[in-house]
Amino acid sequence: MPSLKRSYIDKGLVRFVHKDLPLPFHEYSREAAEAARCSWDDKQYWKTYGALFENQDCFACKGITSIAQNAGISENRQESCKKAGSTRKAVNSNLSESHLQGIRATPSFVIGRTQGDTQTGIVVEGAMPWPQFRAVLENELKKSKS
């Protein structure tokens, strides 16, 4: 992500849009996605997201709420956010959108472009080494210039 941000996003060459995709086989993924979203108003989303990602093997031992609190979100904010229900709706919306687009893995990247009223591009699923991902991205960027 740091290379992608520095080389493409910060330079305005690509637009980065992050969507939640809590996978059904990961028992705590939906709760973690919601906890991260609840930290948005405190401007702690990426910090909370990173902490949850780094501690995903210990959700049962540490607890998602505790991990999120250590990243900077207050317990009161987290509880009120969960009760509001809008966060759950946002995560469900992202999940539905990914299913409609045939995206079923994390990480996934949609590398697309708009030409007139038509959107084209590819979906890249799964982690890959930066040089390989950069080559795919460069190939798609070349197509958008022609």
pLDDT tens digits along 55-72: 999 899 999 989 999 888
List all residues 6 or more positions away from 129 whose beta carbon is below 8 Å from its beta carbon: none
- For residue 116, name the pLDDT band (cuts at 50, 70, 90): confident
Summarised one tens digit per residue, pLDDT across range 117-142 is 777 778 899 889 999 999 999 998 88
Q: Which pLDDT belongs to residue 143? A: 83
Of 22, 95, 92, 79, nearest to 56 (Cα)? Answer: 22
Structural domain spans, the chain: 1-17+104-146, 22-102
Summarised one tens digit per residue, pLDDT across range 20-34 is 999 888 899 999 999
Neighbours of 29 (CB within 10 A): 20
Strand partners, 120: 113
pTM here?
A: 0.82
Peptide bond before 22: cis, by omega within 30 degrees of 0? Answer: no
Token pair for residue 15?
A: 């637009």
| Most confidently predicted of 74-78, 90-94, 102-106, 116-120 | 90-94
